[in-house]
């Protein structure tokens, strides 16, 4: 009987020592720098993509078609507890003994912290962009995003999406990818309160506005290129309305008078005539 008690006690002490060892390993792991190009990073890279919902079946994301009808967009955020359960489930495939469970329980927080840092590298690496190690020092805390179902996804492949926080600060894009011909998902480092959807950059063109039968051009700052106030406009002179041509020389003179410049260069005139692609905004309303 004493021998059995000693054996059971030794097993308990052994588990305690092993758990303590794993805890020390976790403390070292959580502060390890992330190296996206290191071969040992493959598992963390795969788990990072999993936390960004890559390779997650579509019907897990949208269990019912009524949740995302045609011509609809939905804003959401990912529950960190759900993400941690997802990682724990993925790691459970290799558990064969109680020792494996002890190992995972001690290291799951450290692994999840590394995943939070590594998620910032997923999109830049896919785009083959340079990535500074300083940007991976802090992990992603909360992930928010959107999912849209619209013919726009199929018709305009170059659409650009920009998310802003409740304070109006731009959020880092973690994943923007089409899931089907008409469904697109976007994930950001933070919860979007405003989502801007812009036409592709190649949609730049020259243009002006028409009001009460006359044509006007809203001017831009030469320093920043930003549009000036709505009242800062000049008349666009028409050369032949039937042929839809404008009098460039007179229009340039109107701009010179506004800016009080002696002469406009062709580049300055081009800057003023640019009409940027249209931008649509989706603004979150918590009161709805």
Structural domain harbouring 224: 202-278
* Structural domain includes residue 287: no
* Structural domain includes residue 208: yes
* Structural domain includes residue 250: yes
Q: Which two tokens stand for residue 6?
A: 């000693």
What is the pLDDT at residue 278? 77
Q: In terms of pLDDT, which residue wins out, 63 or 11?
A: 63
Same domain, 215 and 169: no
How many domains would you assign to the chain?
2
Q: What pTM did the predictor assign?
A: 0.69
What is the pLDDT at residue 7? 46
User: What sections of the chain are H helices per DSSP?
Assistant: 2-30, 42-51, 58-61, 80-91, 98-126, 151-155, 248-259, 266-273
Percentage helix, strand, coil for the chain under 3-state DSSP, each rounded to 5: 45, 25, 35
Minimum mean pLDDT among 102-111, 178-187, 234-243: which range?
102-111
Distance separating alpha carbons of residues 217 and 210, to the nearest angstrom: 9
Last residue of a domain, one of 167, 198, 229: 198
pLDDT at 10 over 90: no
Instruction: Write out pLDDT tens, residues 21-39.
Output: 445 545 545 566 556 555 5
Last residue of a domain, one of 198, 228, 253: 198
Instruction: Write out pLDDT tens, residues 102-158.
Output: 666 666 777 777 888 888 888 888 877 776 666 667 778 899 999 999 998 888 878
pLDDT at 171 over 90: yes
Same domain, 193 and 213: no
The answer to whether the CB of 275 falls within 8 A of the CB of 207 is yes
């Amino acid at each position: 009987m004493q021998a059995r008690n000693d054996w059971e006690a030794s097993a308990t002490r052994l588990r305690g020592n092993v758990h303590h060892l794993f805890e020390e390993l976790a403390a070292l792991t959580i502060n390890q720098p992330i190296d996206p190009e290191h071969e040992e990073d493959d598992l963390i890279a795969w788990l990072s993509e999993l936390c960004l919902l890559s390779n997650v079946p579509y019907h897990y994301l949208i269990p019912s078609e009524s949740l995302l009808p045609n011509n609809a967009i939905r804003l959401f955020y990912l529950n960190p507890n759900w993400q941690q359960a997802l990682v724990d489930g993925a790691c459970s495939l290799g558990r064969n003994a109680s020792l494996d469970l002890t190992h995972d329980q001690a290291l799951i927080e450290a692994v999840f912290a590394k995943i939070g840092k590594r998620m910032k590298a997923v999109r830049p690496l896919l785009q083959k962009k340079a990535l500074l190690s300083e940007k991976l020092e802090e992990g992603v805390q909360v992930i928010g995003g959107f999912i849209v179902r619209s013919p726009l996804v199929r018709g305009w492949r170059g659409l650009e999406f920009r998310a802003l926080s409740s304070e109006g600060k731009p959020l880092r894009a973690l994943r923007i990818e089409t899931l089907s011909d008409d469904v697109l998902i976007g994930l950001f480092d933070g919860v979007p309160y405003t989502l801007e959807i812009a036409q592709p950059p190649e949609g730049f063109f020259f243009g002006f506005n028409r009001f009460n039968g006359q044509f006007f051009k809203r001017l831009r700052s030469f320093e920043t290129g930003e549009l000036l106030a709505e009242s800062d406009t000049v008349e666009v002179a028409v050369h032949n309305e039937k042929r839809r041509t404008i009098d460039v020389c007179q229009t340039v003179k109107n701009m010179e008078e506004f800016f009080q410049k002696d002469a406009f260069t062709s580049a300055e005139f081009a800057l003023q005539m640019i009409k940027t692609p249209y931008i649509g905004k989706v603004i979150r309303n918590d009161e709805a």
